[in-house]
A = this chain, B = another copy of it.
Amino acid sequence: MDIGVIGVGRMGTAMARNLIKAGHGVYLFDPVPDGPRELGKEGGHVVASARDAFRGDVCISMLSNDDAMRAVFIDGGLPPQGAKTIHMNMATASVAMAQELAAHHKARGVPYVAACVWGRPDAAAAAKLSVVVAGEKTAIDKVEPLFKVLAQRHTRVGDDPVMANVAKIAGNLMVASAIEAMGEAAALVRAYGLNSADFLTMVNTALFDVPVYRGYGDAIGHSKYEPPGFDLALGFKDVRLALAASEKKNVPLPFANVLRDAFLDAIAHGDSKKDWAAIATVAARRAGLD
């Protein structure tokens, strides 16, 4: 297929590289001009504008936040009216932006699929992402072969693109909750003199032997939050997406509230650029353990 890619950061790069390797024609654009340069040497085609990424069968977008999506699509007047290219947005948008984008594409008569992913850049590179996808069935049928190139599994959640974002946001809340739970448990055992790294290794081996717990457990146990795998400031953004989504439907979320305060506390103490597992330092600080 001919595939546009808008947004060539760490995630977008890893995904585009897999598409290139799989033999697709890949047309790359990033708002930051140097972004796609490297892939240009690996067989990708760097294009001059986001509009040029809408010439193929599919355009994948992977922009970092609502503002970037608004700039390129809503304010940028893309996709072109009536384009046949399927737009598959793989970034995590707020529910409000997801709704706005769905309506925007409908008004322009352009097929729109939301396909949110779980996984970090290394999982993207290894084609081990998990994808939750929603949108018009015929459009998803067409892009489905790409999931095999990008991901280890994908799940459809209906024809309203917004639902993929809702699922992604709710899943992220579970990840953030796992981090906070480890942070509190680690603070508790530390206060009694136990080694928190040993404790987390033990519990995660016994009960939670998956990368999410393993990885963040190691970070928390060894207080190793740099370099960040996922910035704490971005983690806070995800918590806010959950809070915003919950306010639209009147869903109290006490864990999300605790997370809100933990992230604010961490940011107030200068940790916004560390890995988001650093909210565990807040649990320790509250107990006077720092």
Contact residues in B for A118 (Cβ distance below 8 Å): 203, 206-207
Q: Which residues, 232 to 290 on A, are CB-close (under 8 Å) to B?
A: 240, 242-243, 245-247, 249-258, 260-262, 264-265, 267-270, 283, 286-288
User: Chain B residues with Cβ under 8 A from A173's Cβ?
Assistant: 181, 184-185, 188
Chain A facing B: main interface SS: helix
Q: Are A189 and B177 in contact (CB under 8 A)?
A: no
Query: Quick check: A163 and B185 within 8 Å, CB to CB?
Result: no
- Within the complex, the shortest CB–CB distance from A207 to chain B, in Å, comes to 5
Asked if A264 contacts B242 (CB within 8 A), the reply is no
Q: Which of A163, A256, A264 has the most CB of B within 10 A?
A: A264
Q: Compute how far the CA of A243 lies from the CA of B256 in the bound complex, rounded to whole angstroms.
A: 13
Q: Does A157 sit at the interface, judged by CB under 8 A?
A: yes
> What 6 pairs across the A-B complex have the smallest Cβ distances?
A130-B206, A257-B257, A268-B288, A252-B261, A177-B181, A191-B249
On whether A265 and B245 interact (CB within 8 A), knowing A118-B207, A212-B208, A253-B184, the answer reads: no
A110 vs chain B, min Cβ distance (A): 23
The one of B206, B210, B283 in contact with A171, judged by C-beta atoms closer than 8 angstroms, is B206
Q: Is A180 an interface residue (CB 8 A)?
A: yes
6 inter-chain pairs at a CB distance below 8 angstroms, sorted by A residue, are: A174-B207, A175-B207, A180-B255, A207-B210, A251-B268, A257-B257
A268:B253 contact, CB within 8 angstroms: no
A217 CB → nearest B CB, Å: 10
Residues of chain B within 8 A (CB-CB) of A253 are 184, 187-188, 261, 283
Which residue of chain B has the shortest Cβ distance to A171 in the bound complex?
B203
- Per-position contact with B for A156-178: 1 when CB-CB < 8 Å, else 0? 01100011001101110111011
